[in-house]
């Protein structure tokens, strides 16, 4: 049962990863090139910055997108969904979207409050070691907040509180993220990319990651649905080919 779950998670991850790779190739690569052309004060100075031709970078980035999807699909939907499914609120696909939302907040959303995505051409002023430390701290805080949110919701729903009030109360643990904003480094960045472009860029990055999580949840739900149908038909009977 665990193996089947892991296989479904990895398959969903491969589909999500391929789509995210496509997104990287069609949207992100040109956008990164554009913001880089806007910037003059980029940390990779022209002429000595890129050690590889653009096409190799583009291809490697697509491959990176695929690996990213498979990793998230395998870990979050293959392993974590299997383990936490009994505790997740809702039924059927709701459980998957709850987990996807928690995954997005932990891996990206929470950390972005401290360290928002920066376009190429804008350099963080905080050193990379510090940023990785804060990334891990923010991811851990977001994971704790998501877990507490589910616990609070379930406790209240069990005691007979209306679902919408339980859901509202479940939002309270996300106040923990405010601690990060108080303690974390003030995210300053330097570069010549105009503010509106930075904002648009962030929108694209957020949409890309949120889209990846939605695809993971949807494909995973689809695969599980097909498995249930197969089980309902019975292992010894043949399925109609569709």
Partner 1 sequence: MAATHTVSDRIAQANQELTRWEVAAGLALTAGLLIGLLLLQQPLAHDGLHNFRHAAGVVCH
- For 215, the enclosing helix (H) or strand (E) is helix 195-233
Q: How far is the CB of 90 from partner 1 (least distance, A)?
A: 16
Pick from 24, 106, 141, 224 the residue near partner 1 by CB under 8 A.
Answer: 24
Pick from 108, 166, 180, 219 the residue near partner 1 by CB under 8 A.
Answer: 108
Q: How many residues bind to partner 1 according to rule CB under 8 A?
A: 55
Pick from 13, 103, 111, 170 the residue near partner 1 by CB under 8 A.
Answer: 111
- Residue 131 binds partner 1, judged by CB under 8 A: yes
Measured in Å, how far apart are the chain's first and last C-alpha atoms?
25
Pick from 89, 117, 185, 211 the residue near partner 1 by CB under 8 A.
Answer: 117
Assess contact for 16 and 227: CB atoms under 8 A.
Answer: no
How far does CA 231 lie from the centroid of its chain? 31
Q: Which is nearer to partner 1, 118 or 224 (CB)?
A: 118
Q: Following DSSP, what letter does each residue of 156-191 receive, concatenated?
A: HHHTT--HHHHHHHHTGGGGHHHHHHHHS----EEE
CA 59 vs CA 24, 26, 206: distances in Å: 9, 11, 22
Q: How far is the CB of 161 from partner 1 (least distance, A)?
A: 22
- Residue 26 binds partner 1, judged by CB under 8 A: no
Q: Return the residues of window 135-164 that contact partner 1 according to CB under 8 A.
A: 135
Quote the Cα angle for 65-70-74, to 5°: 150
Q: Which is nearer to partner 1, 22 or 178 (CB)?
A: 22
- Residue 85 binds partner 1, judged by CB under 8 A: yes
Assess contact for 32 and 120: CB atoms under 8 A.
Answer: yes
| String marking each residue 56-75 x if it binds partner 1 according to CB under 8 A | xxx-xxx-xx-xx--x--xx
Pick from 38, 161, 206, 218 the residue near partner 1 by CB under 8 A.
Answer: 206
């Amino acid at each position: 049962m665990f193996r089947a779950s892991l296989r479904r998670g990895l398959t969903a991850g491969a589909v999500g990863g391929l789509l995210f790779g496509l997104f990287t190739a069609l949207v992100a690569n040109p956008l990164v090139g554009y913001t880089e052309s806007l910037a003059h004060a980029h940390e990779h100075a022209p002429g000595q910055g890129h050690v590889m031709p653009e096409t190799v970078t583009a291809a490697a980035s697509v491959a990176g997108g695929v690996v990213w999807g498979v990793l998230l699909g395998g870990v979050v939907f293959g392993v974590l969904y299997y383990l936490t499914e009994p505790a997740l609120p809702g039924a059927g696909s709701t459980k998957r979207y709850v987990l996807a939302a928690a995954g997005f907040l932990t891996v990206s959303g929470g950390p972005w409050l401290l360290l928002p995505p920066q376009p190429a051409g804008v350099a963080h002023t905080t050193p990379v070691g510090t940023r990785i430390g804060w990334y891990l701290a923010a991811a851990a805080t977001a994971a704790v907040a998501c877990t507490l949110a589910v616990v609070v919701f379930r406790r209240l729903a069990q005691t007979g509180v209306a679902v919408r009030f339980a859901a509202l109360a479940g939002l309270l643990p996300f106040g923990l993220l405010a601690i990060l904003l108080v303690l974390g480094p003030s995210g300053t960045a330097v570069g010549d990319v105009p503010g509106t472009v930075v904002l648009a860029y962030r929108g694209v990055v957020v949409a890309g990651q949120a889209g990846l999580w939605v695809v993971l949840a949807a494909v995973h739900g689809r695969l599980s649905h097909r498995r249930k149908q197969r089980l309902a038909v019975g292992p010894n009977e043949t399925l109609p080919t569709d």
